[in-house]
Amino acid sequence: MKKLLASFLIIFLFSTNIVFSEQKIAFIDMDKVISTSNAGSSILKQLTDLNKKNLKFLNEEEKKFKEKETKLISQKNIISENDFKNKVNELKSEINNYNQNRNKMLSDFNKLKIDNTNNLLKLINPILVKFSNDKEIAIILQKKDLVVAKTQLDITDEVIKIVNSEVKEFKINK
């Protein structure tokens, strides 16, 4: 019986493997990747230029409405009351159309910004997958979702270098 127990114990000890497992975890600041990578800064510059152009157009339109309003007020005593009311109504309808167009322009700009940022993220995602496979990283977390982490786990700068080398130019899709 002792021989059977001893042989069972020896077989059991040799058949079991001791496994030590360590999963690598890293984090990345995606906002920094988007704002400092060449492609991301190109998107931001293009969007800023488009926004400035839109704001310039909207400001010019507002100036035209103010000029029309002052001209109409100056004509109040000269033209008949009916004509004045008609012109005021015309101006109100023009302003309403302008407000609708302005709101549409702003929503289109926001949609453009979101779509192009998402397109850039779609280009960055395979880079992150390849990077995690190469470095044997099990989990990559976003920095904004962390409370505390070691700075050695930050892979942002490495990923920015790779993104700069692989994504040369990015033009916004209008």
Give the pLDDT confidence of 81-110 residue by residue, as tens digits: 888 889 889 989 999 999 999 999 999 999
Instruction: Let me know if residue 12 belongs to a domain.
Output: no
Range of the structural domain that residue 111 is part of: 18-166
32 domain-assigned: yes
Name the domain count of the chain. 1
3 domain residue, yes or no: no
Assess whether pLDDT exceeds 80 at residue 170: no
CA distances from 104 to 91, 92, 95, 173 (A): 20, 18, 14, 17
* Whole-Å CA distances, 50 to 12, 35, 103, 116: 71, 17, 16, 13
pLDDT of amino acid 33: 93
Query: Mean pLDDT over all residues of the chain?
Result: 87
In a domain, 94, yes or no: yes
Query: Residue 155: is its pLDDT beyond 60?
Result: yes
* pLDDT class of 75 with cuts at 50, 70, 90: confident
Asked if 69 contacts 91 with a C-beta cutoff of 8 angstroms, the reply is yes
One-letter amino acid identity for 39?
Answer: A
Q: Higher-confidence residue: 54 or 167?
A: 54
Provide the CATH number for the domain around residue 30.
3.30.910.20
In the predicted model, what is the mean pLDDT of residues 42-62? 93
**122 within some domain:** yes
Q: Is residue 139 part of a domain?
A: yes
Answer whether 0.85 is exceeded by the pTM: no
> What is the C-alpha to C-alpha distance for residues 102 and 124, in angstroms, rounded to an integer?
33
Is 68 among the domain residues?
yes
Does the structure show a pLDDT above 80 at 63? Answer: yes
